[in-house]
């Protein structure tokens, strides 16, 4: 039986006819591939919001890029919008959502006796299988919500925050987890959810406290360690994914390969951010003294 990646290659090249591939036009190949994408997902998650087709997520992403381009231009001659109340509510709401997802990932995987080394996806309609699939969907949807971070930067004229790292991370996570919910809602994916949800509890707690104003901000000395925590999660996930990629495990190698490459890219980008934000700044201050 062909692997998932082999089937993707087949449908991207043509139609299987009597065991042989019949070459088609480029447009037909796109149609065939798109049909394959629609029909070969997890039937449990297909009816859920934004899951069945990639078109809604692509539309969200393109809208995001347009707002990134247009937003700063529209705000150029305007005063920054005061979003203090909005940011307080938003950040602490994200803390609550992240805490809920962390709990669900942790408890569901524990009750289902998940293995840290190799865990296939449970595609059944069992209570625990569905519970894991649902929290995977919430995790995906949280990445859509998090695109609001960028909009807040634009409205507050914090354009220096609109770095390549920020846009790359936010823009790609919605695609990564759309594919996760569409095809592998559970299994090894749970570890990403557990770790990232915990990191986001800490991260949005930091931003929520920072939104309260200068009286609280002076106590927020631990931003540097938040970046370190983010880097640590990517190292853990890279090692974990590499183990599953190079050992026998009933989890799609194509998904592991994507996660592995993605984590490596984030390690490079976050390490550069850490160096530029903390080590370089520290060296400059030392020279000025």
The answer to whether residue 284 scores a pLDDT higher than 90 is: no
Tens digits of residue pLDDT in 197-215: 999 999 999 999 999 999 9
Residue 4 pLDDT > 60: no
Identify the band that residue 232 occupies on the pLDDT scale cut at 50, 70 and 90: very high
* Confidence grade of residue 26 (pLDDT, cut at 50, 70, 90): confident
Catalytic residues: 169
Are 131 and 10 in a shared domain? no
pLDDT at position 154 over 70: yes
Domain total of the chain:
2
> 67 and 206 in one domain?
yes
Q: How far apart are CA 114 and CA 105, in angstroms?
A: 11
Q: Do 107 and 181 belong to one domain?
A: yes
What is the pTM assigned to this prediction?
Answer: 0.89
Q: Do 14 and 99 reside in the same domain of the chain?
A: no
Domain extent at residue 186: 45-288
Q: What's the mean pLDDT in 145-160?
A: 97
- Alpha carbon separation from 174 to 39, 82, 96, 241 (Å, rounded): 20, 28, 20, 19
* Same domain for 68 and 135: yes
Q: What is the pLDDT of residue 27?
A: 86
Residue 269 scores a pLDDT above 90:
yes
pLDDT (mean) for 212-224: 92
Q: Both 92 and 226 in a single domain?
A: yes
Residues 29, 134, single domain; the answer is no
Q: Would you say 187 and 121 are in contact if contact means Cβ atoms under 8 Å apart?
A: yes
Same domain, 12 and 110: no
Q: For residue 1, what pLDDT is reported?
A: 43
Residues 126 and 156 in one domain: yes
State the number of CA atoms in the 13 A half-sphere of 101 facing the CB: 29
Model confidence at 9, in pLDDT bands (50, 70, 90)?
A: low
Given this model, what pLDDT does residue 56 score?
A: 97
Q: Quick one: 30 and 154 in the same domain? A: no
């Amino acid at each position: 039986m062909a692997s998932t990646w082999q089937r993707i290659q087949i449908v991207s090249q043509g139609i299987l006819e009597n065991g042989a591939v019949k070459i088609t036009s480029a447009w037909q190949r796109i149609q065939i591939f798109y049909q394959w994408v629609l029909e070969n997902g997890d039937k449990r998650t297909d009816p859920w919001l934004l899951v069945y087709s990639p078109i809604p997520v692509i539309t969200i992403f393109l809208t995001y890029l347009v707002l990134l381009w247009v937003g700063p231009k529209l705000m150029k001659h305007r005063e920054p919008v005061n979003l203090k109340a909005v940011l307080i509510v938003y950040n602490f709401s994200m803390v609550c959502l992240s805490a809920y997802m962390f709990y669900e990932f942790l408890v569901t995987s524990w009750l289902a006796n998940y293995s840290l080394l190799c865990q296939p996806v449970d595609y059944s309609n069992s209570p625990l299988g569905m519970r894991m699939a649902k929290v995977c969907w919430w995790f995906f949807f949280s990445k859509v919500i998090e695109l609001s971070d960028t909009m807040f930067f634009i409205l507050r004229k914090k354009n220096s925050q609109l770095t390549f790292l920020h846009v790359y991370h936010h823009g790609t996570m919605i695609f990564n987890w759309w594919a996760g919910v569409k095809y592998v809602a559970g299994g090894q994916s749970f570890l990403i959810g557990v770790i990232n949800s915990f990191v986001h509890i800490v991260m949005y707690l930091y931003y929520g406290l920072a939104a309260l104003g200068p009286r609280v901000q002076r106590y927020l000395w631990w931003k540097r360690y938040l970046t370190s925590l983010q880097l640590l999660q990517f190292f853990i996930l890279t090692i974990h994914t590499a183990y599953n990629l190079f050992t026998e495990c009933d989890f799609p190698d194509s998904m592991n390969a994507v996660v592995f490459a993605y984590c490596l890219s984030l390690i490079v980008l976050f390490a550069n951010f850490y160096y530029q934000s903390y080590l370089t700044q520290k060296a400059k201050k030392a020279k000025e003294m």
